[in-house]
Amino acid sequence: MTARFEELTTFRLGGPCSRLIDCETPEALAEAMRELPSAGDAFVLIGGGSNLLVSDQGIDATVVRYRTETPRIRLGTDRVEVAGSTALDGLTRHLVEAGREGLMCCTGIPGTVAGAIVGNAGAWGGQVSDVLESVMLMDRSGNLTEADPSTLAFSYRHSNLKERNDVVVSAVFRISKGDRGALEDERESILVRRAERHPNLSHEPCIGSIFRNIEPTSAADRRQAAGWFLEQAGAKEMKEGGAKVFARHANIIVKCDDCSSQNVRDLAARMAEAVREKFGINLVREVRYLGRFQGEQLEQDNGFY
Question: Looking at 72, 157, 265, 288, which residue is catalytic?
Answer: 157
Question: Looking at 85, 260, 286, 288, which residue is catalytic?
Answer: 286
Helix (H, G, I), strand (E, B) or coil at 225: coil
Question: Looking at 159, 209, 260, 261, which residue is catalytic?
Answer: 209
Q: Where in the chain are the domains?
A: 3-66, 73-184, 211-285
Nearest 10 degrees: Cα torsion 152, 153, 157, 162: -60
Topology adopted by domain 73-184: 3.30.465
Q: Indicate yes or no: pTM above 0.75.
A: yes
Asked whether this chain's domains 73-184 and 211-285 adopt the same fold, the reply is no
Structure confidence by residue, pLDDT tens digits, 120-172: 999 888 999 999 999 999 988 889 999 999 999 999 889 999 888 899 999 99
Query: Could you say which DSSP state residue 300 is in?
Result: P
Topology adopted by domain 3-66: 3.30.43
CB 174 within 8 A of CB 102: yes
CB 114 within 8 A of CB 126: no
- Examine the residue annotation and report whether 286 is marked as an active-site residue of this protein: yes
Cα–Cα distance measured from residue 68 to residue 85, given in angstroms and rounded to the nearest whole number: 5
* pLDDT tens, per residue, the chain with 305 residues: 678 999 999 999 999 998 999 999 989 999 998 888 766 678 889 999 988 999 999 999 899 999 999 989 999 999 999 999 999 999 999 999 999 999 999 999 999 999 999 999 998 889 999 999 999 999 888 899 999 999 999 998 899 998 888 999 999 999 999 999 999 999 999 999 999 989 988 889 999 899 998 876 534 455 688 999 999 999 999 999 999 999 999 999 999 999 999 999 999 999 999 999 999 999 999 999 999 999 887 765 544 44
- Examine the residue annotation and report whether 209 is marked as an active-site residue of this protein: yes
CATH classification of 211-285 is 1.10.220.150, yes or no?
no
Cα–Cα distance measured from residue 155 to residue 129, given in angstroms and rounded to the nearest whole number: 9
- Examine the residue annotation and report whether 285 is marked as an active-site residue of this protein: no
